[in-house]
Amino acid sequence: MDGASPPTPEPRASNLGRAALLVVALAAAGAASAQTPARPAVPQRPGQMPTLPLTQLDERTMAADFDNRAFTLSFAQPVPTKDLLLLLVRGTSLSIIPDPAINGSFIGELKNVTVRQALGLILPPLDLDYTIDRGFIRVFRRAPETRLYDINYIATERTAESSLGGDATARPNGSYARVVSTTKADVFAELTKGVQTLLSERAMFNVDRKAGLLQVTDFPERLDRVAVYLDTVQDHVHRQVQIDARILEVELNDEKRQTLDWTALAQAGSPAGAAGTATLTRPSLTGLRVTDVSRFMAALAEQGIVSLIADPQLLALNNEPAIVRATTESRPGDRKDNDRPALPAVTLSVTAQIGPDGIVMLSLSPIVAVRSSGQNAGAEDRIHETDTLARVADGETIVVAGFGRQREVRERRNAGVKGGWFGRSTVVTNKRVELLILLTPRILGNVPSQ
């Protein structure tokens, strides 16, 4: 037992060996990985940054703070406008950025108003305006804008004058009646006056007649008023009416009658019902309503000989005068026929005002001059003048009458052996003649009629 060496603890040596082997293996693996070339890194897409909860704004909250949150402010002393704007958004999710050039003050009391209402009450008197974008309210001084408007009208000034009446110096007692109707049409001048009343004191405008343009520089709300005004004027000015005129002369068959049978003519010109009586769908605007011109003309032919002097067709704009003249002029050297009745010379001036309800107001100025007939050179011409206003519906015919006269008619009759050359004789008789003017306005366009 003495001299024997103690035994070596094998388990510890074994553990150390294992640890050494593990270290060598890791070192070899590290060397191998160092010798292997590194692979390129795969690029990755940048992810969306998360929205920070502290800066996130809710649009519903902003809308509620702008339109639904009511407050009350009272200022007995002047408060600067900038300070007042800051008070409006205090305690809300809104932000306000006033323009540095804003000045002025405010005195007043705002009760139960929202931010929108308060801005609408405070800013306009100070020539200020605002815009809102995602909770940011920018307040700035308003700047004028420039707009161009089209004026579709002829750049001419029309003047029509109709003078009716006698001469006071030609009457012994000095009494006379006189009517002077003057119509002036200058659309550009009238538009200038109308637009000027709608603009602010600092506005500027220019009318170009040749180009038909109106240039206006003013605030947007003023420019909107000008646009509405011009649209309304254009709608009224561009209304057009077609007037069918007939100038008739009726020689009565009955020599004892002094005028036409207007009762029979009224029944003939109105629509007939089932029993043959006149039935009107609505009251007539004139004393005689003619809806069937053909039947009216047939009724005239039953009472006398109808002669058509003229039948012009007029096209006129709203409140623009139209003139018709029908006459017979003799040229030098023409042989005068004493047996032919002299036709009257008719001058008719018509101005139509077209209403939005389909009613046309007519300003009528007919002048009828009857030339003397026969061989009496000293005979004077008779002149009938009338100036009147009448309202007539679209498509309704108005009859202007009252130009009756006596006319000598020469007729050649067979007198037998007592007659003159080959038994013929000339008989002179007096005939009652009525002159009628029929006017039928028809509105062109989209103006409704009743």
pLDDT tens per residue across span 256-313: 777 888 888 877 766 553 344 444 444 455 556 677 788 888 888 888 889 888 889 9
Under the banding of pLDDT at 50, 70 and 90, the label for residue 175 is very low
391 closest CA partner among 364, 369, 370? 364
Using an 8 Å Cβ cutoff, are 230 and 212 in contact? no
- Does the pTM surpass 0.85? The reply is no
**Mean pLDDT, rounded, of the chain:** 76
pLDDT tens per residue across span 74-109: 999 999 999 999 999 998 889 999 999 888 899 999
105 closest CA partner among 122, 124, 88, 129? 122
Q: How far is CA 245 from CA 28, 381, 383, 399, 402, in A?
A: 122, 25, 21, 10, 17
Structure tokens at 24: 């060598």
pLDDT of residue 266: 79
pLDDT of residue 147: 96
When mean pLDDT is compared over 206-210, 224-228, 408-412, 427-431, the highest value belongs to 224-228
Angle separating helix axes 187-196 and 220-237, nearest 10 degrees: 150
pLDDT of residue 362: 92
Asked which of 22-26, 158-162, 293-297, 326-330 is least confident by mean pLDDT, the reply is 22-26
pLDDT of residue 267: 77
pLDDT of residue 330: 58
Is it true that domain 59-142 has CATH number 3.55.50.30?
A: yes
User: Which helix or strand (DSSP H or E) is residue 206 part of?
Assistant: strand 204-208
Q: Is the pLDDT of residue 320 over 80?
A: yes
Domain boundaries, the chain: 59-142, 146-165+182-237, 240-329+340-444
